[in-house]
Structure 1
Amino acid sequence: MRKRKMLLAFGATALLSLSGCSSDTASNQETAATTTLASTTAIPEPRANEAVEAPGVTLTVDGVSESDYLSIYPDSVKAGSAPEENMDAPEGGRFVTVTTTVENTGLVSWDLTCGFAIQAHILSEKNQRYDPIDSLYRIPGNPSCNDGLNPGFSDTMIWAFPVPNDVEITHFGFADPETNFNDLTLIDISDAKPAVTSVETTSTANETSTQATRETVTTLEATSSVPQKPPFMNDEDFDPYGPPRFVACWESNAAVMSDGSIVTDTVNCAPEPAPLEVYDEPVRSDGCVGPAAVCGYYDEFGNPIWFDKTTGETSPRYYDQYGNPTMVAP
């Protein structure tokens, strides 16, 4: 009987010992699984202003902005050669604009705006995917159409996406379509701010332009408020505030006045008469000299006649009722 009790006691002890080993093994397995899960979920998601590497592309989201319209260059016009125009967002929507810096780490050149060099989308909190607008070369700050970005170089690239007003955008996704089409690398842009560089540049440019405009207006006002002396006038002759008076002739029938104006003046600046012609003909007893049309002459028989120097006609010598020579008989 004692021997049976001892066997039972030994069995109970062995059972407890096995139970303890089993509990320790399960506990260790649970701890290892928890550690593996924690290490997997602890990897932070890429965010704005971080350079994110993907096959063939390294991309940094520099800023995100939203607006009811988009400023673009007119179509079929060289970028910068004409004023920008506004493209309104679709009714009930807005534009989400993502400014990035892209580096070509691939093997071939990129045409960023007229080619399909980078696949780019934005995604909503419901995983809805949105495409950018066409003609990205019309967005100020983007490369021109057919500009090539060779491997190893970086450039600014701006995408604009039409999005409904009630949709919240959380991610930007990109890929090299040649090697990873639709295999997007995602960047969290839920708390991204507008691109600082572009805002500061625009602000500085606006301030400079405004200052220049103010200085120009001030200069024009100062210049226009004070009458300016014409360069051809003497200081003592210029009097812009008194009544205009004659100063000098500008040309025939035109005079310079004291206020700097030039006016018609047929009195002070009338053309001088042509000098009288000097004739070498001897003085005649009947006083007919010069360009008179009718003069007294004698014919070859000694008879008095009138000779018309203009026409060469002759006639007997007649006088009208006033005593003037005439070739018409009374």
Structure 2
Amino acid sequence: MSTNITPPPMPAQPPQPGKNNHTNAYIIGGAAIIAAAIVATGIAISGSGDDTAEPQPTVTVTETVEPEAAVEEDAAAATDQNADAKVGEEARNGGAVVKVTKLVEADTITVAGARKSAGADAKYVTLKTVVSNEGKAGMDLTCSLPIVNALIDDQGRRFDTIEDLYDVVGNPECNAQLQPGFDDEMQFVYRVPKDAVVTKWEFSEYDLENEVTPTLVDLT
């Protein structure tokens, strides 16, 4: 008697991938690599863009150079000094005390009994003063010039008195000594340009042995 034995079933074999599946995998993998490269490139570009400095506004610095002082300004420095007195006030320098009582500008003056013209482009400036001698010796106001003086205008120009002040009507005679403790009227006369604007009068007692700082009188 024969027995039929049925063998157990064989395990099923997994399906083998086809060529199409391999091709699709290659395509998908390549696309992923390309996409990753694009993303990486975008990040790199974006990062490099952030590192680029933004353009800054241009700042222009202008340096101003002060011009050198003009010679005229140096010459006019004397007009910037503080005056020691004004018209009508007594001003002292050493033993000389002077009070300017009036300033007169005119085209002519009387000298030695005759009228004298300043000229077309000039004028005379007369300072009428009272001089007091508070020193230890006599003063010859018109000849020995015991009072050194100068008339100063707004440009710093300094003018000397005319010659022969003793010939000006009203002035003391030559060699008339003003004694200590006395005073006398004295006119200091200057010939200046027609357009000159006088601002100050400077005077000092004559002294050969010592350096004397002048006294200033404001005439404005």
TM-score normalised over the length of structure 2? 0.59
Instruction: Report the residue type matching 1:94 in the other structure.
Output: K
Instruction: Report the residue type matching 2:131 in the other structure.
Output: V
- Alpha-carbon deviations, 1:198-235, whole Å to 9, x = none? xxxxxxxxxxxxxxxxxxxxxxxxxxxxxxxxxxxxxx
Instruction: Report the residue type matching 1:169 in the other structure.
Output: V
- Once the 2 structures are TM-superposed, how far is the Cα of residue 45 of structure 1 from its aligned partner? 4.6
* Structure 1 contact 56–104 (Cα < 8 Å) conserved: yes
Cα distance in 1 between the residues matched to 2:83 and 2:149: 22
Cα distance in 1 between the residues matched to 2:140 and 2:196: 31
Change (3 A) 1:124 1:158: same
Q: Which residue of 2 aligns with 1:81?
A: none
* Structure 2 contact 83–216 (Cα < 8 Å) conserved: no
- Alpha-carbon deviations, 1:15-72, whole Å to 9, x = none? xxxxxxxxxxxxxxxxxxxxxxxxxxxx875100001122111110010000011112
Structure 1 gap segments, 5+ residues each: 1-42, 74-83, 191-330
1:71 lines up with 2:110 in the alignment: yes
1:139 lines up with 2:168 in the alignment: yes
- Once the 2 structures are TM-superposed, how far is the Cα of residue 133 of structure 1 from its aligned partner? 0.4
RMSD over aligned Cα atoms = 1.8
* Structure 1 contact 105–151 (Cα < 8 Å) conserved: yes
Cα distance in 2 between the residues matched to 1:91 and 1:138: 23
Identity %: 30
Change (3 A) 1:72 1:114: same
Q: Which residue of 1 aligns with 2:142?
A: 113
- Alpha-carbon deviations, 1:275-301, whole Å to 9, x = none? xxxxxxxxxxxxxxxxxxxxxxxxxxx
Q: Which residue of 1 aligns with 2:177?
A: 148
Cα distance in 2 between the residues matched to 1:165 and 1:138: 23
Cα distance in 2 between the residues matched to 1:85 and 1:47: 32
* Structure 2 contact 84–91 (Cα < 8 Å) conserved: no
1:54 lines up with 2:86 in the alignment: no
Q: Secondary structure at the match of 1:178?
A: coil
Structure 2 gap segments, 5+ residues each: 1-81
Cα distance in 2 between the residues matched to 1:178 and 1:45: 20
- Once the 2 structures are TM-superposed, how far is the Cα of residue 118 of structure 1 from its aligned partner? 0.8
Cα distance in 2 between the residues matched to 1:150 and 1:46: 24
- Once the 2 structures are TM-superposed, how far is the Cα of residue 183 of structure 1 from its aligned partner? 3.0
Instruction: Report the residue type matching 2:196 in the other structure.
Output: V
1:243-282 alignment to 2 at 5 Å?
none
Cα distance in 2 between the residues matched to 1:173 and 1:44: 9
Runs of 4+ off more than 6 Å:
none
Instruction: Report the residue type matching 2:177 in the other structure.
Output: G
Cα distance in 2 between the residues matched to 1:97 and 1:106: 25
Q: Which residue of 2 aligns with 1:186?
A: 216
Cα distance in 2 between the residues matched to 1:128 and 1:181: 22
1:174 lines up with 2:213 in the alignment: no
- Alpha-carbon deviations, 1:250-281, whole Å to 9, x = none? xxxxxxxxxxxxxxxxxxxxxxxxxxxxxxxx
Cα distance in 2 between the residues matched to 1:91 and 1:127: 23
Q: Secondary structure at the match of 2:145?
A: coil
TM-score normalised over the length of structure 1? 0.40
1:292-307 alignment to 2 at 5 Å?
none
Q: How many residues are matched?
A: 138
Q: Which residue of 2 aligns with 1:162?
A: 191
Cα distance in 2 between the residues matched to 1:88 and 1:44: 31
